[in-house]
Amino acid sequence: MRIQRVLTMEVRTETDAYGEIEIPAGSYWGPQTERSRALFAIGDEYLPVDVIHCFGAQKAAAARANCVLGKLPEHIATAIISASEEVRDGRFDDQFPLPIWQTGSGTQTNMNANEVIANRANEYLGQPIGKRAPVHPNDHVNLGQSSNDTFPTIMHLCALRAVFGMLAPATKRLVSALSTRSTEFRDHIKLGMTHLQDALPITLGNEFQTWELQIKAAWDAIEFHALSLRELPQGGTASGSGVNGSPQFAQIVCEDLSSFAGVPLCPSAVPSQQMAAHDAFAGLCGALNMLATAILKTCNDIRLLTSSLAGPPSILLPDEGLSSSAMPSKRNATVCEAVIQACFRVIGNSAAVVAASGAGTLQLNTCKPLILNETINSIRLLADAQCVLATGCIEGLQADRDRLRLSLETSPVLGTVLAPVLGYDVAARLIRDATVSGRPIREVVEQSGLMDAAAFDEHLGKVLDPDRLNGKASALSV
């Protein structure tokens, strides 16, 4: 829950087009926000704080554009810009008391921003809070705008900042950790597993590389969908009609906001597209799902590889200083379990976004606050989860190359390696004999007289060459 300033019992009476209303005296919001605060009393979840900061940046850009276009007097524009930049910089975070669950166009949060900025701008001009003049929340702060185009613009800004400012560095950190371990373990030959049973040999490095490539592929998909959000609907006003707007307004705003967003922005050729539907968010959440499932695969594999279900574990968990409440010094895959739960939440968020994206009707999708909140929540969870997984698990995993090799050399799966040389039936019989007697496979093969120890070792060495297993050499015949 966002922490609010403690409001005194003192109130001020403010009047707008809908009559008088009492508002906490120290608040910067106005009548529309106060009525909404009472009406939309649903839960205790607030939109992410960056939504507020994005509103500050957007209102400042709009005021600059309106000043350039001659729509706002310079002194009014200057006051609005100064107030908006304070909102952008987080000075008024506690002046946004509305929950996520409000009008689906986000109108109440847009009006909340208009009122806070108008009151602060009036302070700059020597007027008291609540006077609504000389700066008016609608006539000046919201000039040339509508919630229909402003809120989806904020959605795009928030998502772009979260993906490239938060998720990208975290994904890079996890990929780097996996790549480092892949290189470190490239010579650690071990049993593969299919159907949770022994399978042909691979390297431990290859397992880490597989996880790394999954994460990279997911990031490519995320980046693709995120970049489609660079197109903003600002300037479409209500319904995408552009009524009460200026033709140059959108371009000026987009150029102004590009540095804040961290990527170049441009006006939408058809603004109504980003008002009536949010397919880009459905696609982005699908890509976030792809990342979540890749991370799930990684975590579940680590849990299996660090377990002792089939004898000594392939890798050892780092000692993070945590233990069982009943079993001293017992190490559990705690980081993996925490990350798995976060990934499940991301998958659930995606389901909500897809449903909400499909709920658009005619010229407006009216589930915008939900879509924005769940998308940003998913990005934050995946960013944090990847950093925790990298630093709290991947970077501290340990492996014993000799123990991995020993497990391989006593596995019945070596029958697959021997079959092309000795024949399928002979190889099957020798492996069965070794399994029943408990003797090493190398010993059973040598005693059969079909292959001496030197030939066995030479053949196994070719098959188990790390370059071959890592796919970095031309195939050798078995």
CATH number for the domain spanning 442: value is 1.10.40
Q: Which residues are catalytic?
A: 195, 324
What does the alpha-carbon distance between residue 352 and residue 375 come to, in Å, rounded to a whole number? 10
For residues 336 and 436, state if they share a domain: no
Largest Cα span, the chain: 102
Higher-confidence residue of 310 and 311: namely: 311
Q: Please provide residue 316's backbone torsions phi and psi, each rounded to the nearest 5 degrees.
A: -110, 135
- Residue 2 to residues 48, 92, 188, 400, Cα–Cα distance (Å): 9, 12, 49, 48
Instruction: Please tell me the predicted confidence (pLDDT) of residue 407.
Output: 80
pLDDT tens per residue, range 226-236: 999 999 999 99
Dist CA 439 CA 441 (whole Å) = 6
Nearest alpha-carbon partner for 394 in 315, 340, 291: 315
Same domain as 35, residue 177: no
Question: What is the mean predicted confidence (pLDDT) over 106-126?
Answer: 98
Could you read off the pLDDT of 133-174 as tens digits, one per residue? Answer: 999 999 999 999 999 999 999 999 999 999 999 999 999 999
Does residue 404 sit within a domain? no
Contacts 24+ apart (CB under 8 A), 217-223: 217/290, 217/294, 218/287, 218/290, 218/291, 218/294, 219/168, 219/171, 219/175, 219/291, 221/286, 221/287, 221/290, 222/163, 222/167, 222/284, 222/287, 222/288, 222/290, 222/291, 223/163
Structure tokens, 341: 């739960």
Question: Can you tell me the distance from the alpha carbon of 157 to that of 165, in angstroms, rounded to the nearest whole number?
Answer: 11
DSSP code at position 361? B
Per-residue confidence band for 2, with pLDDT thresholds at 50, 70 and 90:
low
Note whether 414 and 271 are same-domain residues: no
> What is the spatial distance between Cα 361 and Cα 359, in angstroms, rounded to a whole number?
6
Domain shared by 274 and 356, yes or no = yes
Does the pLDDT of residue 473 top 50, yes or no? no
Average pLDDT of 336-351? 97
- Of 111, 143, 175, which residue sits at a domain end? 143
pLDDT for the residue 4: 56
What number is the average pLDDT over the span 84-97? Answer: 98
**Residues 403-435 pLDDT 10s:** 888 787 778 888 888 888 889 999 889 889 888
Q: Within this chain, do residues 365 and 220 fall inside the same structural domain, yes or no? A: yes
Instruction: State whether 212 and 242 are in the same domain.
Output: yes
Same domain, 302 and 420: no
Q: What is the CATH number of the domain that holds 29?
A: 1.10.275.10
Q: Is the pLDDT of residue 476 over 50?
A: no
Domain boundary among 399, 427, 443: 399
Given phi > 0 = left and psi -120 to 50 = alpha, else beta, which region is 361?
beta
- Answer yes or no: do 346 and 432 share one domain: no
In the chain, count of helices (H) and strands (E)?
18, 8
Q: What is the pLDDT of residue 197?
A: 85
Asked if the bond preceding 134 is cis, omega within 30° of 0, the reply is yes
Computed over its alpha carbons, how large is the radius of gyration of the chain?
31
The backbone torsions φ and ψ at residue 328, rounded to the nearest 5 degrees and listed phi first, read: -55, 140
Same domain, 125 and 163: no
Question: Based on the structure, what is the number of domains in the chain?
Answer: 3
Model confidence over 173-212: pLDDT tens digits? Answer: 999 999 999 999 999 988 888 898 888 888 999 999 999 9
Predicted local confidence at residue 299, as pLDDT: 97
Question: Is residue 319 in a domain?
Answer: yes
Distances (CA, A) of 161 to 100, 157, 199, 436, 458: 20, 6, 44, 62, 56
pLDDT higher than 90, residue 103: yes
Q: Is residue 2 part of a domain?
A: no
Q: Which residue has the tokens 């603004």?
A: 271
Say which residue, 5 or 414, is predicted with more confidence.
414
Q: What is the pTM of this model?
A: 0.91
159 and 41 both lie in a single domain: no
CA distances, 330 to each of 110, 307, 317 (Å): 52, 12, 11
Q: Copy the structure tokens of residue 263.
A: 């990527």
Q: State the angle between helix axes of 107-124 and 49-68 in degrees (0 to 180), rounded to the nearest 10.
A: 60
In a domain, 190, yes or no: yes
Residue 212 forms part of a structural domain: yes
pLDDT for 453 equals: 82
- Residues 319 and 386 reside in one and the same domain: yes
Which of 359, 379, 399 marks a domain boundary? Answer: 399
> Looking at the structure, do residues 184 and 218 belong to the same domain, yes or no?
yes
Residue 339 belongs to a domain: yes
Question: Which residues constitute the domain of residue 32?
Answer: 11-143
The torsion angles phi and psi of 376, rounded to 5 degrees, stand at -65, -40
The model's confidence at residue 5, banded by pLDDT at 50, 70 and 90, is low
Tell me, yes or no, whether 330 lies in a domain.
yes
Give the pLDDT score at 235.
93
Q: Is 321 left (phi over 0), alpha (psi -120 to 50) or beta?
A: left
Full DSSP string of 459-470: HHHHHT-HHHHT
The pLDDT value given to residue 302 = 95
The pLDDT tens digits for 42-80 are 999 999 999 999 999 999 999 999 999 999 999 999 999
390 pLDDT higher than 60: yes
Kindly report the average pLDDT of the chain as a whole number: 91
239: in domain: yes
